[in-house]
């Protein structure tokens, strides 16, 4: 069925969607495993800069109770009907001015690679990238949409100029699923990109500091390297916020919901009797941080770059005390993601910006896409 659909030239539609062009007012939509987040951005009437018009975070607590009620899982099983309903409910609340949406695909649904090639003509580069995709993507090329973005260059030991090109490929099945969910929710899906691209744009545009972005979600942690708004490396681990909650629940013998509350209230800073909380979470946080170290080493050894700092995003970045702990473990400066540097916002949002910035970073990166790319 899918193959037939693709044969009828829908494949080119899929490809186009990954590259699409923008209009002026957009809704960035990030469908995570535990929540859907949206940010509506418009051009500021005074400066023309992106301005947050409205945002929404719809958390689904059901994922805490049962695995199969997560909005989407790493095995490609986004629950289409439920997700469309959640999206529609969210739109109603948001009272959005636009139906135009840009959405992100989680890292774990894409295949990416940083490819280093000599200076090539656009035709030669296209050929090389197609060949590379054949090597790295575990699916036939007829079943994936591929795209590539030049992200840097360097001169090697022999004085030869090399360019670095970031290759992204997404299964057509995933793209088609997103299209149908957005259609069912009454939205026009104008573009799709992997979430790392949105984060790189929101958090590093105009900043050449080589940055490890660590997005700690509920079900997975994405570990990326970005600079100047460009994504250069993308890895992922299944240890994330839920792992910490589970550790607290089983360690203290409390319900997962209670454990979630305690984690959010005390984080790593609990004193006295609560000290046990951080002791329970630490081994899992250490697994996440060892994956971060691994990604750093792989990147530095293979791709001619040196990581200068770490930026934490996703809901997990709000864990109290995480920056200090991560900084001492990683021996690098660690800061919480602040997407507000690029975006104007209504004064009423000011008091909560620090808290919502890290979880909303992907949605904001999507919403500012038409202002920047």
Ligand X SMILES: Nc1ncnc2c1ncn2[C@@H]1O[C@H](COP(=O)(O)OP(=O)(O)OP(=O)(O)O)[C@@H](O)[C@H]1O
Task: Please pick, from the candidates 26, 28, 32, 36, the single residue that binds Mg ion as defined by CB under 5 A.
Answer: 32
| Closer residue to Mg ion, CB minimum distance, 32 or 270 | 32
CA distances from 87 to 186, 215, 246, 318, 357 (A): 9, 22, 27, 24, 21
| Closer residue to ligand X, CB minimum distance, 151 or 218 | 218
| Pairing, β 161-171 against β 144-155 | antiparallel
Please answer whether residues 322 and 241 qualify as being in contact, where contact means their C-beta atoms are separated by less than 8 angstroms.
Answer: no
| Closer residue to ligand X, CB minimum distance, 33 or 370 | 33
Rounded Cα distance between 50 and 55, Å, is 14
| Closer residue to ligand X, CB minimum distance, 6 or 36 | 36
Binding segment for Mg ion (CB under 5 A), chosen from 6-14, 146-154, 211-219, 272-280, is 211-219
Query: And the tokens for 75?
Result: 């095995």
Binding segment for Mg ion (CB under 5 A), chosen from 49-57, 63-71, 210-218, 324-332, is 210-218
Rounded Cα distance between 250 and 254, Å, is 7
171 binding partner (options ligand X, Mg ion, none; Cβ < 5 to 8 Å by kind): none
Query: Min. distance of Cβ 219 from Mg ion in angstroms?
Result: 9
| Closer residue to ligand X, CB minimum distance, 100 or 318 | 318
Query: Among 272, 285, 284, which Cα is nearest to 330's?
Result: 285
Please answer whether residues 257 and 64 qualify as being in contact, where contact means their C-beta atoms are separated by less than 8 angstroms.
Answer: yes
| Closer residue to ligand X, CB minimum distance, 33 or 211 | 33
**Interface with ligand X (CB under 6 A):** 32-35, 106, 217-220, 240-242, 245, 260, 263-264, 267, 314-316, 318-319, 359
221-227: strand order across its sheet: 230-237, 221-227, 211-216, 309-313, 334-336
Q: What's the Rg (C-alpha) of the chain?
A: 20
Query: Min. distance of Cβ 62 from Mg ion in angstroms?
Result: 17
DSSP E strands in the chain: the ranges are 26-31, 35-43, 50-59, 100-105, 111-118, 144-155, 161-171, 188-194, 211-216, 221-227, 230-237, 309-313, 334-336
Binding segment for Mg ion (CB under 5 A), chosen from 27-35, 96-104, 158-166, 324-332, is 27-35
Query: Min. distance of Cβ 257 from ligand X in angstroms?
Result: 11
Query: Min. distance of Cβ 314 from ligand X in angstroms?
Result: 3
| Closer residue to ligand X, CB minimum distance, 210 or 243 | 243
What phi, psi does 125 have (nearest 5°)?
-65, -45
Query: Min. distance of Cβ 359 from ligand X in angstroms?
Result: 5
Rounded Cα distance between 314 and 293, Å, is 19
Query: Min. distance of Cβ 92 from ligand X in angstroms?
Result: 20
Rounded Cα distance between 85 and 89, Å, is 6
Query: And the tokens for 92?
Result: 């109603």
Task: Please pick, from the candidates 217, 229, 357, 367, the single residue that binds Mg ion as defined by CB under 5 A.
Answer: 217
Binders of Mg ion among 162-191, rule CB under 5 A?
none
How many of the chain's residues bind Mg ion (CB under 5 A)? Answer: 2
Binding region for Mg ion (CB under 5 A) = 32, 217
């Amino acid at each position: 069925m899918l193959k037939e659909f693709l044969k009828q030239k829908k494949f080119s539609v899929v490809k186009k969607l990954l590259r699409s062009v923008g209009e002026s007012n957009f809704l960035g939509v990030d469908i995570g495993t535990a929540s859907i987040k949206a940010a509506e951005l418009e051009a500021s009437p005074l400066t023309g800069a992106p301005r947050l018009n409205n945002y929404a975070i719809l958390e689904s607590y059901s994922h805490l109770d049962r695995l199969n009620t997560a909005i989407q899982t790493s095995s490609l099983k986004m629950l289409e009907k439920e997700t469309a309903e959640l999206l529609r409910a969210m739109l109603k609340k948001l009272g959005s001015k636009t139906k135009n949406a840009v959405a992100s695909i989680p890292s774990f649904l894409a295949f990416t690679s940083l490819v280093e090639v000599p200076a090539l003509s656009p035709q030669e580069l296209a050929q090389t990238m197609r060949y590379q995709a054949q090597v790295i993507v575990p699916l036939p090329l007829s079943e994936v949409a591929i795209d590539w973005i030049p992200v840097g260059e360097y001169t090697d030991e022999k004085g030869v100029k090399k360019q670095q090109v970031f290759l992204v490929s997404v299964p057509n099945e995933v793209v088609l699923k997103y299209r149908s969910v957005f259609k069912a929710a009454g939205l026009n899906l104008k573009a799709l990109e992997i979430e790392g691209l949105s984060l790189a744009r929101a958090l590093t545009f105009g900043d050449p500091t080589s940055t490890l972005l660590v997005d700690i979600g509920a079900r997975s942690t994405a570990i990326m390297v970005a600079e100047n708004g460009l994504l250069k490396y993308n890895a992922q681990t299944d240890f994330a916020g839920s792992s910490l909650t589970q550790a607290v629940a089983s360690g203290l013998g409390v319900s997962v919901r209670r454990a979630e509350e305690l984690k959010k209230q005390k984080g790593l800073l609990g004193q006295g009797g609560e000290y046990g909380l951080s002791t329970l979470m630490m081994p899992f946080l250490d697994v996440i941080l060892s994956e971060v170290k691994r990604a750093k080493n792989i990147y530095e050894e293979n791709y001619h770059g040196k990581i200068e700092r770490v930026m934490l995003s996703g809901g997990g970045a709000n864990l109290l005390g995480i920056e200090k702990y991560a900084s001492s473990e990683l021996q690098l400066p660690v800061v919480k993601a602040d997407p507000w540097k690029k975006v104007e916002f209504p004064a009423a949002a000011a008091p909560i910006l620090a808290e919502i910035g890290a979880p909303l970073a992907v949605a904001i990166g999507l919403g500012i896409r038409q202002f920047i790319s």
